[in-house]
């Protein structure tokens, strides 16, 4: 399947938790999948691997930065992502490890200008190559706000961008900010189609950490916020856009699951949360088919 990005301009909405557990739900359904950590905070990688192993991968340059090490060289092609796919104990999904030094690379982009930034976009666009990904479905965890790497990740996500929201009102405003940023960069890409032949668009909204009694008021407020965003930034939304029917419930076990680097299904098999991720996967799969 085509790459998707999990993104919200607003942080703290559960992007990383969704990315890893969605990848695992896909793997459980016999779909080869991997979580791609494009956030310099490396939350997805810490979740799956733990801090010592992430630091080890950074030292050995077995991270997503390896794909970008052609920056400043005369190489014609970036490093293939296939060589960065990591098998993680107790996980069926694979991982492309994040790298906290991406912030340093971003500083270089500021100094070197848009030409080098374009090369990063081209490097990450390789995630669309099924052979380069060894047939794995990339689920990209983006950093909040809108950095060089978020631009690259969202625009290489030809399968679409999925925005998680919670019951907090500022997560709704993140939809508007995300749509605005995407439309502005899309205008630039449109003027230079040789840089990126495809542009990711907002494909869906995932409601996260919602208790049953909060569902009805959440959906009413969310639909209003989406209507406002689509009216202001229509080009940022995919024609098949939808608010996913499945609601991911509030789950007090998530902090423990993350601390133990476990999959939701292995830690809480049969739980409503684990079942919900299976349903989210099926919805997204249907949208992409």
User: pLDDT, tens digit, for every residue of 103-132?
Assistant: 888 777 767 665 666 777 777 888 888 888
pLDDT exceeds cutoff 90 at 198: no
pLDDT tens digits for range 16-27: 999 999 999 999
Work out the average pLDDT over 36-49.
95
CA–CA gap between residue 205 and residue 241 (Å, rounded): 8
Q: Which of 98, 91, 151, 146 is nearest to 121 (CA)?
A: 151
pLDDT of 125 reads 81
pTM over 0.85: yes
- Are 128 and 156 spatial neighbours (Cβ–Cβ below 8 Å)? yes
Q: What is the pLDDT of residues 55-73, one digit of tens each?
A: 999 988 899 988 877 655 6
Give tens-digit pLDDT for 237-278: 999 999 999 999 999 999 999 999 999 988 888 899 999 999
Return the pLDDT at 239.
Answer: 95
Q: Write out pLDDT tens, residues 158-174.
A: 899 999 999 998 999 99
Q: Is the pLDDT of residue 188 over 80?
A: no
Q: Which two tokens stand for residue 101?
A: 């030094």
Instruction: At 150, list the tokens.
Output: 């978020």
Which comes out higher in pLDDT, residue 163 or 194?
163
CB atoms within 10 A of CB 215: 14
Which strand (E) or helix (H) includes residue 280?
Answer: helix 272-288
Give residue limits of the domains in the chain.
Answer: 4-288
Look at domain 4-288 and name its CATH class: alpha beta
pLDDT mean across residues, the chain? 89
């Amino acid at each position: 399947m085509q790459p998707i990005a999990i993104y919200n301009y607003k942080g703290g909405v559960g992007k990383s938790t969704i990315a890893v557990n969605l990848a695992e739900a896909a793997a459980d359904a016999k779909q080869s999948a991997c979580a791609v950590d494009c956030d310099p905070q490396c939350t997805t990688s810490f979740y799956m691997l733990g801090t010592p192993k992430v630091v080890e991968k950074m030292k050995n340059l077995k991270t997503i930065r390896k794909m970008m090490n052609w920056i400043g060289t005369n190489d014609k092609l970036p490093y293939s992502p296939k060589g960065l796919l990591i098998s993680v104990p107790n996980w069926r999904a694979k991982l492309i490890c994040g790298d906290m030094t991406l912030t340093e690379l971003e500083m270089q982009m500021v100094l070197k200008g848009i030409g080098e930034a374009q090369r990063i976009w081209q490097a990450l666009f390789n995630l669309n190559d099924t052979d380069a990904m060894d047939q794995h479905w990339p689920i990209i965890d983006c950093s909040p706000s809108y950095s060089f790497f978020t631009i690259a990740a969202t625009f290489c996500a030809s399968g679409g961008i999925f925005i998680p929201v919670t019951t907090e009102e500022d997560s709704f405003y993140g939809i508007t900010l995300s749509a605005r940023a995407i439309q502005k960069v899309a205008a630039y890409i449109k003027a230079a189609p040789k840089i990126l032949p495809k542009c990711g668009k907002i494909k869906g909204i995932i409601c996260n950490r919602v208790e049953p009694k909060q569902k009805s008021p959440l959906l009413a407020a969310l639909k209003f916020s989406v209507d406002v965003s689509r009216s202001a930034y229509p080009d940022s939304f995919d024609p098949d856009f939808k608010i996913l029917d499945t609601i991911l419930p509030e789950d007090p076990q998530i902090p423990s699951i993350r601390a133990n680097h476990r999959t939701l299904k292995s830690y809480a098999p049969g739980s409503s949360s684990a079942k919900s991720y299976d349903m989210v996967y099926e919805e997204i799969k249907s949208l992409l088919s």
